Amino acid sequence: MTENKKLLVVDDDDAFRESMELEFTDRGFQVFGAPDHRTALGLAAVHRPSYAVVDLRLEGERGLEVLKDLVERLPSIKAVVLTGYGSIATSVEAIKLGARHYLTKPVDPEAIELAFERERGDPSVLVPDQPPSLARNEREYIEYVLASTGGNISEAARRLGLHRQSLQRKLRKYPPRR
C-alpha cells in the first residue's frame, strides 16, 4: 500500500458503512464515510483519498455515477464497487468507468483490500458448470438496458417494452438465484 491510506466509503446503509469505517480504521486507513453522491464528492475534494469503496445502489442515486465523478476528479484513485445486485452489465460498466474491482456483498474487508492492489484479472476464476437461470438472464438484460440509458428508467422501460411501474417492480425484487 502507498503512504496515503485515505479511504472513502460510499454507502447509504449506515450500519454497513460504519462497520467498513471501523474495519479499515483498524487496518491503518484514515476513513471518510459518505451516504450519498454529493457528500462523497465533497469529502473527496477536501481529503483526496487514494482508495474508494462505492456501493452500486444508493438511495435514489446510482453508484456508477459516483464512481465516474470520483475517477474524473481523482484519476489515480483505486476504487472497488460493491453490490448486492451483481450483474454482468453493471460489472462491465464499473470496470470501464475505472473501478479496480467489482465485488458482491457480503464481502470481507480483506477481499476489498486485496482488490485495491489487483491490477490484472485472474484467469483462474471459476466458470460455472451450468448456465444462469432464465430469471438471472432477464435481470442481467434489464441491468444492461438500464446502464445503456444512463439509469433512465422511463427510457429503459420503453426499450424493454414494459410499463415504467412494471420495470420498477422488477428492479425492486431481489436478484434471482441461479
pLDDT at 122: 60
Residue 2 pLDDT class (50, 70, 90 cuts): very low
72-103 pLDDT, tens digit per residue, is: 999 999 999 998 777 778 888 888 998 988 98
pLDDT band at 57; cut points 50, 70, 90: confident
| Cα 50 to Cα 52: distance, rounded to the nearest angstrom | 7
Domains of the chain from N-terminus onward: 6-117 (3.40.50.2300), 134-172 (1.10.10.60)
Which one, of 143, 133, 138, 128, lies nearest residue 178 by Cα? 133
Per the CB < 8 A criterion, the answer to whether 63 and 55 are in contact is yes
What is the pTM assigned to this prediction?
0.70
**CB-based contact 82:66 (threshold 8 Å):** no
pLDDT for the residue 177: 45
Task: Please return the burial class of 109, using the count of CB atoms within 10 Å of its CB with bins 0-12, 13-18 and 19+.
Answer: middle
Mean pLDDT of the region 61-82: 92
pLDDT at 117 > cutoff 80 = yes
